[in-house]
Every structure is written in C-alpha cells, then in structure tokens.
Structure 1
Amino acid sequence: MKNNRPRINVPLEPLDNIVDLISATVLTMIVVYTAINFSDLSETIPTHFNASGEPDGFGDKIYIWLLPAIGIITFVVLFVLNKFPHFHNYKFNITEDNALKNYRFMTRVFRFTTLFIAILFIFIQYMMIEQGKGNATGFSAWFTPLIIVISLVFAVFIAIYQQKINKS
C-alpha cells in the first residue's frame, strides 16, 4: 500500500509530554499497586464484571497481571504509532498545507485514548484487587453507561473537530 501523504515531524508541545507522562505514571501505578497487593489476593479472583458491576467470571490470581500487561502494550503500540502519523486513518485528503494540524490532532487523539484507557484500567484493577482480597466492593450501575457516554462524546468531538480544522 503506497502512502503519498507528507512525512513531516510533528513537534511535541508541553500538553503532549504531560499527557504521555500522566499515562505512563498511571500505568506504573497499576503495576506497583498490583505487585504490592498480589500476595494478599485469594487464589481465585474476579476476572469479569457484568453490566451491573457484579463479578460474573473468575480465574486464577495470576490473571491479575493481564490488565497491566494490556495497558502497557497499548501504551507502547500507540506511542510508536504516533511516530508515524502519515499512516493514520484520515477521512480528509492530507496535503502539505493541512498535514501538521491533522497529524498533531490525531497524535493527540492517540495520547488521550491511551490516558483514558490507563485511567479506566487502574479503576478496574483496583476493583478486581479489592474483590480478590475479599472486600465487598463493586462497580456501580453507572460505570458501564458512563464509559459508553464518554466514548461516544469523544468520538463526536473527534469528528466535529476534524471537520473544523479541515474547512478550507
């Protein structure tokens, strides 16, 4: 697949560095919190929660490391993909004139997506660990609808903002 989009360097701004640093910090906190609490977990922990926030799937406590691993892999993959914004998917034709603003926007979308995932994962990991230690905590009924609403608002924002920056 030939890509004729301009290949330009997208200089990082302070916001980019701050969001990456917060994401990395949250992911580090997930790993540290998991390591600190691992020995206190029962041998069987909740691995899945239904829409009401009640555990409905269980597994060996080693699975507590799955979410931190997925979070770190996601961070690394999206971090690397941000180095190649000309490969991202755009619904507008990318030219020399609009490349920087579109590339910067899409790399920020990736950064904020990573941050959203990290925050979501630390909350889920906390709940899994607390349940695995026998504490009767669970997700509220608002958790799933809130995540859906936030995701939809983010998607609508992306579509509207991308339309705005590409008006000629």
Structure 2
Amino acid sequence: MTTSVTDSPRPARSYATGPATRGLRLLSLLAALAITAWILVRYTSLPPTVPTHFDVRGQADDWGPTWSVLVLAAVMLLLSLGLVALSAHPRVFNYPLEVTARTAQSVYREGERMMVAVLAGVQLIYLGIALSILDGPGSGVLTWIGMAVLLGSVVIGIIRLVRAGR
C-alpha cells in the first residue's frame, strides 16, 4: 500500500525562503519569459528551416520547420514554470532519505535550493539553444555551461540534502 505526501507524517514547511533563493527563482522565471518573448518576436523573420539539433561542437546537424522553434519555446516555458511552482513546495519532493520532524526544515530548505539551482541551469541551456537557433553557431558553450550547472546542482544538492538529513 502506498501513501501520498498529503497522507505522510512529514511536517509542514515553516522556514522562510532566503533572499538569494527567492532572487534566483525570480531571475530564472524572468529569464524564461524573456527568452520566450525574444523567440516570439524573432519568429516572423526566421528562415523556412531552422536548426533543430546540434553536435557536441555546437554545429547544427539537423534542420526542421520554423514552427519547431515554437515547440522549443512552449516546452521550455512549461518546464520552467513547473520548476518554479515545484521549487516552492519542497514538502512534496521525493527525497533520498527519511524526512523526520527534526530534519524536515533543513531538508526542505536544501531541496528548495537544489530545485532553484536546477531551474537556473535550465535557463542557461534554454538561452544557449535559443542563441544557437536564432543567431547561428557559436553559442553552444552557454548550453554546456548550463548542463554543468544542472549536473552540479543535482550532485551538490543531494550531498547537502544528505547532510541536512543527519
């Protein structure tokens, strides 16, 4: 038998989110909205085919219809909005440890921080892809930086979660 988070004995969240976490969440949300707006503004001036895939050097190696840029924008915006909403509710996360009344607040805080850092990494990836599509090759380094931030956020976040759970 499984239980949902709402049925679980996990305590409610009671800590206040720090200003750095709130600021990074807001900045990431604004970045997602700005990148999406930029794509929409540039959409009518795009050629009939646009790059849809890039090799490890950032060079386009597959092409598709212009409307595929709208799919990218929709997916990335929805992903970003989902991460913004999820990061504000760390009680529902699936933690790699038992959350007790004694450790809950510190575990929730670290979970929230990790999700906001993941959100920031996603924005760097989104910007790198958008730059590569709209302004041509050479922007792949930003995508790689975003992937490094994303991976680092998860690894460091899990380490911090485990320490907070002790």
TM-score (normalised: structure 2): 0.83
Match of 1:114 in 2: 119
Match of 1:156 in 2: 155
Unaligned 5+ residue runs, structure 2?
Answer: none
Task: Count how many residue pairs are aligned between Structure 1 and Structure 2.
Answer: 161
Q: Deviations along 1:129-165, whole A, 9 cap, x unmatched?
A: 123xxxxx3355x667655544443333123222322
Q: Is the 8 A contact 1:53 1:143 kept in 2?
A: no
Q: Is the 8 A contact 2:53 2:61 kept in 1?
A: yes
TM-score (normalised: structure 1): 0.82
CA distance in 1, matches of 2:142, 2:28: 21
CA distance in 1, matches of 2:143, 2:128: 12
Matches within 5 A, 1:31-42: 31-42=36-47
Q: Does 2:16 align with 1:6?
A: no
CA distance in 2, matches of 1:122, 1:17: 21
Across the aligned residues of Structure 1 and Structure 2, the Cα RMSD in angstroms comes to 2.2
- In the alignment, which of 28, 49, 73 is matched to residue 44 of structure 1? 49
- The code of the aligned residue for 2:116 comes to R
Match of 1:81 in 2: 86
CA distance in 1, matches of 2:121, 2:147: 12
- Distance of aligned partners of 1:36 and 1:147 in 2 relative to their CA distance in 1, 3 Å threshold: closer
Q: Is the 8 A contact 2:128 2:142 kept in 1?
A: no
- Distance of aligned partners of 1:122 and 1:94 in 2 relative to their CA distance in 1, 3 Å threshold: same
CA distance in 2, matches of 1:149, 1:111: 15
Q: Is the 8 A contact 1:54 1:139 kept in 2?
A: no
Q: Is the 8 A contact 1:51 1:144 kept in 2?
A: no
Match of 2:101 in 1: 96
Identity %: 20
Matches within 5 A, 1:114-133: 114-131=119-136
Give the structure, 1 or 2, with the largest relative contact order (CA under 8 Å, sep 6 or more).
Answer: 1
Unaligned 5+ residue runs, structure 1?
Answer: 132-136
Match of 2:165 in 1: 166
